[in-house]
Amino acid sequence: MQRPGRLGDDKTRFETDVRADPRIADIVKLAGGFGAGLEPLAAGATYTECLDYCMAFERVETQAHAALLEMMPPFDDVEITRESIVAADGHETTLYLHQPKSIGRPLPGVIHLHGGGMAITTADDPGPTFWRNLLAAQGLRVIGVEYRNA
């Protein structure tokens, strides 16, 4: 039995992984792959190598932000504000608040938490911003919680 993904084959990339949605894999291929120009880490990479890779990956991925923001439709009916909260340990976290501009009644809400590795990127990146705007445009209040990256 072969293990899945890179656990079974160190050369597997998202865009070649049979488990990936082919529609998404095709788009990733067009963009040159996730972390275009970066070689994937070896399975036995050290902690320092992993940290270095994360920083390099984030630098590569943020180069696409301007183009992604330009492609984002206008959300003229969405109000976006930011607030900060302080945890018991003193850590300050930014909240991104998205809601319809015309509010005449109580609204249902969604708390948007990142489901990833909490190591790179930010809740202010184009992808999470788009989804919060899209939900707010449908009549929801959305609270996006900034990532507390490791």
Strand pairing class (92-100; 78-86): antiparallel
Q: How many domains does the chain have?
A: 2
**Do 102 and 82 fall within a single domain?**
yes
Per-residue model confidence as pLDDT tens digits over 60-80? 888 888 888 888 899 999 999
Per-residue model confidence as pLDDT tens digits over 25-58? 887 787 777 777 788 788 789 999 988 988 888 8
Residue 79's pLDDT is what? 97
Mean pLDDT of 126-140: 94
101 vs 75: CA distance, rounded Å:
10
Residue 134's pLDDT is what? 96
**Do 83 and 57 fall within a single domain?**
no
Mean pLDDT of 119-145: 92
**Do 137 and 86 fall within a single domain?**
yes
101 to 4, 14, 109: CA distances (angstroms): 46, 39, 14
User: What is the longest distance spanned by two Cα atoms in the chain?
Assistant: 58
**Do 56 and 77 fall within a single domain?**
no
**Do 95 and 34 fall within a single domain?**
no
Residue 150 lies in a domain: no
Q: What angle do CA 27, 120, 80 make, to 5 degrees?
A: 80
Among residues 47, 63, 79, the one where a domain terminates is 63
Backbone angles phi, psi at 93, to 5 degrees: -125, 135
Rounded to two decimals, what is the model's pTM? 0.74
Hey, which of 30-39, 97-106, 130-139 has the most confident mean pLDDT? Answer: 130-139
- Model confidence at 83, in pLDDT bands (50, 70, 90)? very high
Strand pairing class (141-145; 109-112): parallel
Residue 116: is its pLDDT beyond 80? Answer: no
Instruction: Give, for 145, the enclosing helix (H) or strand (E).
Output: strand 141-145
**Do 45 and 103 fall within a single domain?**
no
Place of tokens 């809400």: 109
Among residues 63, 87, 105, the one where a domain terminates is 63
26 vs 28: CA distance, rounded Å:
5
Domain containing 141 equals: 71-145
Residue 117: is its pLDDT beyond 70? Answer: no
For residues 144 and 127, the answer to whether their CB atoms sit within 8 Å is: no
136 to 72, 97, 110, 123: CA distances (angstroms): 15, 9, 9, 16
Residue 14's pLDDT is what? 82
